[in-house]
Amino acid sequence: MYKTLLGYVLMYFIFSMIGWTIESMYRSIGETFTEKRKLSNFKVINSGFLYQPLCPIYGAGGLVFEVFLAKPKLPFWAVLLVGMIAADIVEYFTSVVMEKLFNARWWDYSNEFMNLHGRICLKHTIFWGIFAAAYVYVVHPLYFYLLSFIPENLREIVTYVALGIFLIDFTFTVIAALDIQKFMKKLESLRINVAMAGAFVKSAAGDLKGKALAQYDEFRDTIASNSEKFEAWRNDISSQIHSSEKKLSDLSSDDLSARDRRAKRLFEHSNSIPQKARKTIQEIKEKWEELKNK
C-alpha cells in the first residue's frame, strides 16, 4: 500500500510535468507566430500556476486514467467513454475549486459549442477521450517500461524531494492567490458601495419605492443625513478608488516585493482576472463620476 501510494505520487508529478511541457510549448509557439516574433525572441510561457514546471490537472488526469482505465483492462469503446466522463469530472471540479480560490475563472469555455457552465465543453471532452486511449495503449506500457530501469530507492528519494518542493511551492502560491482574492473582494465591495450610493440618489429623486427604498434606509439615516459623515464617506470612497487603481498598476510593475511578485505572476497568468479587475474599476469610476455630477 505504501509503495503503491508513493508510485501514484511520482506518477502525478511526472505527468504534471509532461502536461506542463506540452501546453507551455504549444502556447509559446502559438504566441510567437501570432505576434510574428522572430525566433530569437522566443519566450517560454509558464502555463501552470505554480513556480514549478507542473500543471496539476494533467497529473490528476494521468492518475484517473491509471486507476479507472489501465488497471481494469477495459475494451476500447469503454476506454474512450470512461476516459471522457472521468476527465470531465476532474476538469469541472478543478475549475470550481480554482474559481473559489482565485475569485475568477482560470479557463472559460463559454464560447465553445456544447459547454457546461463554461467549465467543460464537447471539444475538450473529445480531446480527453483521445488522451485516454493514448494513455492506455501507448503511455502506460512505455511509462512502466522506462520506470523499470530506475532503482526503487532512487524513485523514493526523487518522490520525497519532489513532494517537499511541491508543498513549499503550493504554500507560497496559495498565499499569493489569497492576496489576489482579497483585492478582488475589495473591488466588489467598493462596487456595491458605489451602487448603493447611486440607488440612494435615485430613491431621493423618487425613483425607488417600497422594498428597494427600504434597503437604503440605514445608508440614508447614518451617512447621507449627516453632512460631515457624508463628506468623510465621499473621501473614503475616492481614496479606495485611488488605492485600487494603484494596486492594479502595481500588479503590472517590476519593482515589487517577493510576495507581490508572486501575486503578479498569478494575476498575469489568467486573462480573466486582470480583465475582471479592470472592468470592475472602470464601472466604479463611471458610476462615481455620475454621482459627483448629481
- CA-wise closest residue to 102 among 225, 274, 249: 274
CA-CA-CA-CA torsion sign (142, 145, 150, 152): positive
| Mean pLDDT, the chain, integer | 79
Residue 43 carries which side chain, given as an amino acid letter? K
Residue with C-alpha cell 470550481? 96
Residue 36 confidence (pLDDT)? 58
pLDDT higher at 163 or 227 = 163
Q: Which of 115-119, 218-222, 264-268 has the lowest mean pLDDT?
A: 218-222
Neighbour tally for 185: CB within 10 Å: 11
Residue 176 neighbours by CB under 8 Å, 6+ apart? 259, 262, 263, 265, 266
- CA-wise closest residue to 187 among 271, 285, 262: 285
Residue 168 confidence (pLDDT)? 92
Torsion on CA atoms 159, 160, 165, 166, rounded to nearest 10: 60
Tell whether the model's pLDDT for residue 55 goes beyond 80. yes
Residue 188 confidence (pLDDT)? 84
Residue 211 confidence (pLDDT)? 46
Tell whether the model's pLDDT for residue 121 goes beyond 90. yes
Tell whether the model's pLDDT for residue 198 goes beyond 50. yes
Residue 178 confidence (pLDDT)? 82
Residue 209 confidence (pLDDT)? 46
Tell whether the model's pLDDT for residue 194 goes beyond 90. no
Residues facing 125 on adjacent strands: none
φ, ψ (nearest 5 deg) of residue 253:
-90, 160
Residue 128 neighbours by CB under 8 Å, 6+ apart? 61, 83, 84, 87, 88, 91
Tell whether the model's pLDDT for residue 159 goes beyond 90. yes
pLDDT higher at 148 or 100 = 148
**CA distance linking residue 49 with residue 118, whole number of Å:** 20
Question: For the segment 227-277, what is each residue's pLDDT rounded down to a tens digit?
Answer: 666 677 778 888 888 888 888 887 777 666 666 777 777 777 766 777 788
| Residue 84 pLDDT grade (very low, low, confident, very high; cuts 50, 70, 90) | very high
pTM given for the model:
0.74
Region 73-78 average pLDDT: 87
Residue 198 carries which side chain, given as an amino acid letter? G
Tell whether the model's pLDDT for residue 139 goes beyond 70. yes
Region 212-230 average pLDDT: 57
